[in-house]
Amino acid sequence: MTTTTTAAHAVPIALAGTRERPITRVFRAIGVQNISLIAAIIALAAAIGSQNSAFFLASNIKTIGMAVTISGLLALVQTVVIIMGGIDLSVGSVAGLASVTSAMIFMNAGSIASVLGALAIGAVCGVISGCVVVFGRVTPMIATLAGLIAFKGVAQLVSNGRAQGYTGADPFYVFLARGTVLGMPTLILVLIIVAIFIHVMLSYTKVGRNIYAVGGNDTAARLSGININRYILGVFALAGTIAALAGILITARTGSGQPISGSEGLEFQSITAAALGGVALRGGKGSIGGTILAVILLGILLNGMSLLGVNPFWQNLAQGTLLVSAVIIQQVRNGERRVGLPK
């Protein structure tokens, strides 16, 4: 009888001993990667603020938020592409083409037509890249590298390499560039809405689960009945559409369509942010929260370098260093063999 009582109470006692503390559950929910990014953001902000107190002004914080909107949009959709097991090097060129297109259409048909036209062209560019991957059996890196060059060439051809149109007096474009909603800048609000949409898609829908499955193991995904080709086309179409949205915001901020200026190098910023945010470059793993934190970290870094009078050319070096560091950290965590080391 005594033995039975002891055994009956043994399980609850053992469970009580292994019950997680609330703070442990919070840390596990946030994730080690995100906690590291938050710590890095705090440390970097403190370091910059100690050198220039203007960093903590509300106006400067707002400037950082508005400055990261365009690169943030591309980083969000780059995250989806990489989770699926691909990469999109053409998003910057698509943004430039959409910027030119939106301004040129605006001059003839108004703001709404210009937005819809630019988004349509972005989707078409994405579908073209997807078709090259699916039907041409070309790797996403090569297919979108070709797109980077080709779409930039189209933007230069239709614009003769010059800025096009003027949207600075149009109420809609002015609202996009400098408007607010309940005190929040429209640019930041657009980024938040897109981030929520993609997060919900990836985390709470069948489409999102299948995207992770394709990136994790495309063979297993195919055998389970997932139409991989359809997902490739759909994700690249989404990438082109969001890149076009970024191009529309470039037009709004500059007041004209920019074939290259404003979009140059955005593809590499998006990849850096995604990798820094913990997205596995081999696919199948990543989160929108980590990408957003990485975008904020990059925004603070670039803003701080400007405030401290650092030569702008160092910005590219800093981003390249962060990208390499992020990849090395991923490999170490996953136990992957680095090139050049013995087995």
Is position 333 within any domain?
Answer: no
Per the structure, the complete domain to which residue 293 belongs is given by: 69-322
Is position 127 within any domain?
Answer: yes
Q: If you write DSSP's letter for every residue of 292-307 in order, what string do you get?
A: HHHHHHHHHHHHHHHH
Is position 157 within any domain?
Answer: yes
The single-letter DSSP state of residue 34 is H
The pLDDT of residue 7? 47
What 3-state DSSP class applies to 262?
coil
Number of domains the chain contains: 1
Percent of residues, the chain, with pLDDT higher than 90: 64
Question: Phi/psi of residue 340, each to 5°?
Answer: 100, -15
Is position 2 within any domain?
Answer: no
Is position 24 within any domain?
Answer: no
The pLDDT of residue 8? 46
Beta strands in the chain (DSSP E): 180-181, 184-185
How far apart, in whole angstroms, are the C-alpha atoms of residue 14 and residue 140?
51
At 341, is the pLDDT very low, low, confident or very high (cuts 50, 70, 90)? low
What 3-state DSSP class applies to 164?
strand
All residues at 6 or more sequence positions from 54 whose CB lies less than 8 Å from its CB, including other chains: 60, 307
Mean pLDDT of 291-307: 92
pTM of the model: 0.87
Is position 3 within any domain?
Answer: no
Residue bearing tokens 């389970």: 224
Q: Give the tens place of pLDDT for each residue, 54-83.
A: 999 989 999 999 989 999 999 999 999 999
CA distances from 128 to 82, 88, 210, 218 (A): 18, 12, 22, 21
The pLDDT of residue 322? 82
Is position 223 within any domain?
Answer: yes
Fill in the amino acid letter for 61.
I
Asked whether the beta carbons of 287 and 31 are under 8 A apart, the reply is yes
Q: Give the tens place of pLDDT for each residue, 111-144.
A: 999 999 999 999 999 999 999 999 999 999 999 9
